[in-house]
Protein backbone atom coordinates (compact mmCIF):
# COMPACT_ATOMS: atom_id res chain seq x y z
CA UNK A 1 0.00 0.00 0.00
CA UNK A 2 1.29 3.44 -0.79
CA UNK A 3 -0.05 6.97 -0.46
CA UNK A 4 0.09 9.12 -3.57
CA UNK A 5 -0.62 12.78 -4.25
CA UNK A 6 -3.66 13.31 -6.55
CA UNK A 7 -1.32 15.02 -9.06
CA UNK A 8 0.63 11.73 -9.50
CA UNK A 9 -2.38 10.15 -11.18
CA UNK A 10 -2.40 10.96 -14.89
CA UNK A 11 -4.45 9.19 -17.57
CA UNK A 12 -4.70 5.91 -15.73
CA UNK A 13 -1.03 5.92 -14.75
CA UNK A 14 0.58 6.63 -11.39
CA UNK A 15 3.84 8.52 -11.79
CA UNK A 16 5.88 7.12 -8.91
CA UNK A 17 8.40 9.24 -7.01
CA UNK A 18 11.94 7.92 -6.45
CA UNK A 19 11.04 7.17 -2.80
CA UNK A 20 7.97 5.21 -3.86
CA UNK A 21 9.96 3.27 -6.48
CA UNK A 22 12.49 2.43 -3.77
CA UNK A 23 9.80 1.41 -1.30
CA UNK A 24 7.94 -0.81 -3.77
CA UNK A 25 11.03 -2.32 -5.40
CA UNK A 26 13.56 -2.60 -2.58
CA UNK A 27 11.49 -2.67 0.62
CA UNK A 28 8.41 -4.61 -0.56
CA UNK A 29 10.43 -6.40 -3.27
CA UNK A 30 7.69 -6.04 -5.88
CA UNK A 31 8.62 -6.89 -9.45
CA UNK A 32 7.33 -5.75 -12.82
CA UNK A 33 3.64 -6.74 -13.08
CA UNK A 34 3.12 -7.12 -9.31
CA UNK A 35 0.06 -5.44 -7.84
CA UNK A 36 -0.29 -3.01 -4.95
CA UNK A 37 -2.84 -0.60 -3.52
CA UNK A 38 -2.55 3.17 -3.89
CA UNK A 39 -4.55 5.69 -1.84
CA UNK A 40 -4.76 9.46 -2.22
CA UNK A 41 -5.63 10.26 1.43
CA UNK A 42 -8.83 12.03 0.44
CA UNK A 43 -11.05 9.03 0.01
CA UNK A 44 -9.90 7.19 -3.11
CA UNK A 45 -8.13 3.83 -3.39
CA UNK A 46 -6.94 1.95 -6.48
CA UNK A 47 -5.53 -1.43 -7.36
CA UNK A 48 -2.39 -0.74 -9.39
CA UNK A 49 0.23 -2.75 -11.26
CA UNK A 50 3.92 -1.93 -11.28
CA UNK A 51 5.28 -1.04 -14.73
CA UNK A 52 8.87 0.18 -14.60
CA UNK A 53 9.06 3.61 -13.00
CA UNK A 54 5.30 4.02 -13.00
CA UNK A 55 2.19 1.98 -12.34
CA UNK A 56 -0.93 1.18 -14.27
CA UNK A 57 -4.25 1.74 -12.46
CA UNK A 58 -6.28 -1.47 -12.80
CA UNK A 59 -9.45 -0.55 -10.91
CA UNK A 60 -10.81 1.74 -8.20
CA UNK A 61 -11.41 0.04 -4.82
CA UNK A 62 -14.17 0.59 -2.29
CA UNK A 63 -12.86 0.76 1.26
CA UNK A 64 -15.16 1.25 4.26
CA UNK A 65 -12.92 2.08 7.20
CA UNK A 66 -14.28 5.46 8.25
CA UNK A 67 -16.45 6.05 11.34
CA UNK A 68 -20.13 6.96 10.95
CA UNK A 69 -19.44 10.16 12.92
CA UNK A 70 -17.02 13.02 12.34
CA UNK A 71 -14.83 13.59 15.41
CA UNK A 72 -12.83 16.76 15.97
CA UNK A 73 -10.26 16.56 18.75
CA UNK A 74 -9.25 19.83 20.37
CA UNK A 75 -6.11 19.08 22.36
CA UNK A 76 -3.91 21.41 24.37
CA UNK A 77 -0.32 20.78 23.34
CA UNK A 78 1.56 18.60 25.82
CA UNK A 79 5.27 19.14 26.41
CA UNK A 80 8.05 17.41 24.46
CA UNK A 81 7.04 15.25 21.53
CA UNK A 82 3.90 14.00 23.28
CA UNK A 83 1.64 15.36 20.55
CA UNK A 84 3.20 13.00 17.98
CA UNK A 85 1.66 10.10 19.87
CA UNK A 86 -1.71 11.85 20.14
CA UNK A 87 -1.78 12.40 16.37
CA UNK A 88 -0.71 8.84 15.60
CA UNK A 89 -3.12 7.07 17.96
CA UNK A 90 -6.12 9.31 17.27
CA UNK A 91 -5.63 8.90 13.52
CA UNK A 92 -5.66 5.14 13.99
CA UNK A 93 -8.86 5.50 16.00
CA UNK A 94 -10.61 7.44 13.24
CA UNK A 95 -10.43 11.14 14.16
CA UNK A 96 -11.47 13.49 11.32
CA UNK A 97 -9.76 16.68 12.49
CA UNK A 98 -7.21 17.57 15.16
CA UNK A 99 -7.07 21.13 16.46
CA UNK A 100 -3.95 21.66 18.59
CA UNK A 101 -4.52 24.54 20.98
CA UNK A 102 -2.52 26.78 23.27
CA UNK A 103 -4.27 26.95 26.62
CA UNK A 104 -3.54 29.11 29.67
CA UNK A 105 -1.28 26.37 31.07
CA UNK A 106 0.31 25.22 27.82
CA UNK A 107 4.08 25.08 28.19
CA UNK A 108 4.93 24.42 24.56
CA UNK A 109 4.74 26.93 21.70
CA UNK A 110 5.41 24.79 18.65
CA UNK A 111 7.66 25.66 15.72
CA UNK A 112 6.13 25.67 12.19
CA UNK A 113 8.10 22.45 11.47
CA UNK A 114 6.02 20.66 14.12
CA UNK A 115 2.84 21.13 12.11
CA UNK A 116 4.48 19.57 9.05
CA UNK A 117 5.68 16.69 11.24
CA UNK A 118 2.19 16.06 12.69
CA UNK A 119 0.69 16.09 9.19
CA UNK A 120 3.27 13.55 8.05
CA UNK A 121 2.55 11.34 11.07
CA UNK A 122 -1.20 11.56 10.36
CA UNK A 123 -0.64 10.52 6.72
CA UNK A 124 1.51 7.55 7.77
CA UNK A 125 -0.97 6.45 10.46
CA UNK A 126 -3.93 6.78 8.07
CA UNK A 127 -2.10 4.64 5.56
CA UNK A 128 -1.21 1.94 8.07
CA UNK A 129 -4.79 1.88 9.44
CA UNK A 130 -6.16 1.60 5.89
CA UNK A 131 -8.23 4.73 6.33
CA UNK A 132 -9.77 6.45 3.33
CA UNK A 133 -9.04 9.92 4.70
CA UNK A 134 -6.05 11.56 6.28
CA UNK A 135 -7.32 13.70 9.17
CA UNK A 136 -6.90 17.45 8.92
CA UNK A 137 -4.40 18.90 11.40
CA UNK A 138 -5.16 22.57 11.97
CA UNK A 139 -2.61 25.24 12.85
CA UNK A 140 -2.27 25.70 16.61
CA UNK A 141 -4.37 28.60 17.92
CA UNK A 142 -5.56 29.83 21.31
CA UNK A 143 -8.17 27.57 22.92
CA UNK A 144 -10.66 30.45 22.98
CA UNK A 145 -10.56 30.54 19.16
CA UNK A 146 -11.81 26.96 18.95
CA UNK A 147 -14.89 27.45 21.12
CA UNK A 148 -17.17 28.36 18.24
CA UNK A 149 -17.91 24.94 16.69
CA UNK A 150 -21.60 24.84 15.84
CA UNK A 151 -24.01 22.02 14.93
CA UNK A 152 -22.04 19.47 16.90
CA UNK A 153 -22.06 17.68 20.22
CA UNK A 154 -19.30 19.39 22.15
CA UNK A 155 -17.57 18.00 25.24
CA UNK A 156 -14.78 19.30 27.42
CA UNK A 157 -12.97 16.63 29.46
CA UNK A 158 -12.29 17.81 32.99
CA UNK A 159 -10.12 15.63 35.21
CA UNK A 160 -11.55 16.75 38.55
CA UNK A 161 -15.14 17.47 39.49
CA UNK A 162 -18.38 15.61 39.63
CA UNK A 163 -19.18 15.48 35.93
CA UNK A 164 -21.06 12.76 34.03
CA UNK A 165 -19.02 10.15 32.22
CA UNK A 166 -18.53 10.78 28.49
CA UNK A 167 -19.86 7.27 27.85
CA UNK A 168 -23.26 8.28 29.25
CA UNK A 169 -23.49 11.56 27.34
CA UNK A 170 -22.84 10.51 23.75
CA UNK A 171 -25.84 10.99 21.48
CA UNK A 172 -24.28 10.15 18.17
CA UNK A 173 -27.56 9.04 16.63
CA UNK A 174 -28.96 12.55 16.92
CA UNK A 175 -25.86 14.47 16.01
CA UNK A 176 -23.08 13.08 13.86
CA UNK A 177 -20.43 15.71 14.50
CA UNK A 178 -18.61 15.38 17.81
CA UNK A 179 -16.06 17.83 19.21
CA UNK A 180 -14.03 16.79 22.23
CA UNK A 181 -11.54 18.99 24.12
CA UNK A 182 -8.63 17.68 26.22
CA UNK A 183 -6.52 19.93 28.44
CA UNK A 184 -2.76 20.18 29.05
CA UNK A 185 -0.65 18.51 31.78
CA UNK A 186 -1.62 21.19 34.29
CA UNK A 187 -5.33 20.89 33.40
CA UNK A 188 -7.75 23.55 32.16
CA UNK A 189 -8.12 26.71 34.23
CA UNK A 190 -11.53 27.29 35.83
CA UNK A 191 -12.08 30.19 33.41
CA UNK A 192 -11.39 27.99 30.38
CA UNK A 193 -13.92 25.42 31.59
CA UNK A 194 -16.52 28.11 32.29
CA UNK A 195 -15.96 29.80 28.90
CA UNK A 196 -16.31 26.43 27.17
CA UNK A 197 -19.55 25.68 29.03
CA UNK A 198 -20.87 29.12 28.11
CA UNK A 199 -20.09 28.29 24.45
CA UNK A 200 -22.12 25.08 24.60
CA UNK A 201 -19.50 22.49 25.64
CA UNK A 202 -20.67 19.87 28.13
CA UNK A 203 -18.12 19.06 30.88
CA UNK A 204 -17.48 15.31 31.11
CA UNK A 205 -15.36 12.80 32.99
CA UNK A 206 -13.28 9.97 31.52
CA UNK A 207 -13.36 7.99 34.77
CA UNK A 208 -11.95 8.31 38.27
CA UNK A 209 -8.27 8.14 37.45
CA UNK A 210 -6.27 11.14 36.22
CA UNK A 211 -5.03 10.34 32.74
CA UNK A 212 -1.98 11.89 31.13
CA UNK A 213 -2.64 14.57 28.51
CA UNK A 214 -1.43 12.02 25.93
CA UNK A 215 -3.61 9.17 27.22
CA UNK A 216 -6.87 11.13 27.65
CA UNK A 217 -7.51 11.72 23.88
CA UNK A 218 -7.02 8.01 23.19
CA UNK A 219 -9.51 7.07 25.91
CA UNK A 220 -12.05 9.64 24.68
CA UNK A 221 -11.72 8.49 21.06
CA UNK A 222 -12.01 4.83 22.13
CA UNK A 223 -15.24 5.53 24.01
CA UNK A 224 -16.72 7.32 21.01
CA UNK A 225 -15.73 4.63 18.52
CA UNK A 226 -17.07 1.90 20.85
CA UNK A 227 -20.39 3.73 21.06
CA UNK A 228 -20.87 4.52 17.40
CA UNK A 229 -19.27 1.70 15.43
CA UNK A 230 -21.38 -1.36 14.70
User: At 31, phi and psi to the nearest 5?
Assistant: -115, 170
On the 0-12 / 13-18 / 19+ scale of CB atoms within 10 A, 50 is buried
Segment holding 115, helix H or strand E:
helix 112-128
Binding mask 158-197 for ligand SAM (x = CB under 6 A): xxx---------------------xx-xxxx---------
Segment holding 47, helix H or strand E:
strand 45-51
Alpha carbon separation from 216 to 7, 151, 203, 205 (Å, rounded): 37, 24, 14, 10
Q: Closer to ligand SAM at the Cβ: 16 or 156?
A: 156
Q: How many residues bind ligand SAM (CB under 6 A)?
A: 19
User: At 91, phi and psi to the nearest 5?
Assistant: -65, -45
- Minimum distance, C-beta of residue 80 to ligand SAM, in the bound complex (Å): 14
Q: Applying CB under 6 A, which of residues 216, 218, 223, 224 lies at the interface with ligand SAM? A: 216
- Minimum distance, C-beta of residue 19 to ligand SAM, in the bound complex (Å): 37
Q: Which range in 120-128, 130-138, 200-208, 222-230 contacts ligand SAM by CB under 6 A?
A: 200-208
User: Where do contacts with ligand SAM occur on this chain (CB under 6 A)?
Assistant: 157-160, 182-183, 185-188, 205-207, 209-213, 216
Amino acid sequence: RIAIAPSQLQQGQILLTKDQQHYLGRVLRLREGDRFIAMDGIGKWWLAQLEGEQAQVLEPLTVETELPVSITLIAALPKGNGFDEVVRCCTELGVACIAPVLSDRTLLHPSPQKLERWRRIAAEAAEQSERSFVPTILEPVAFSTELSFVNSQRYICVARGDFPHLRDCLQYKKQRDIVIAIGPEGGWTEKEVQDAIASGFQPVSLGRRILRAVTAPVVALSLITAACEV
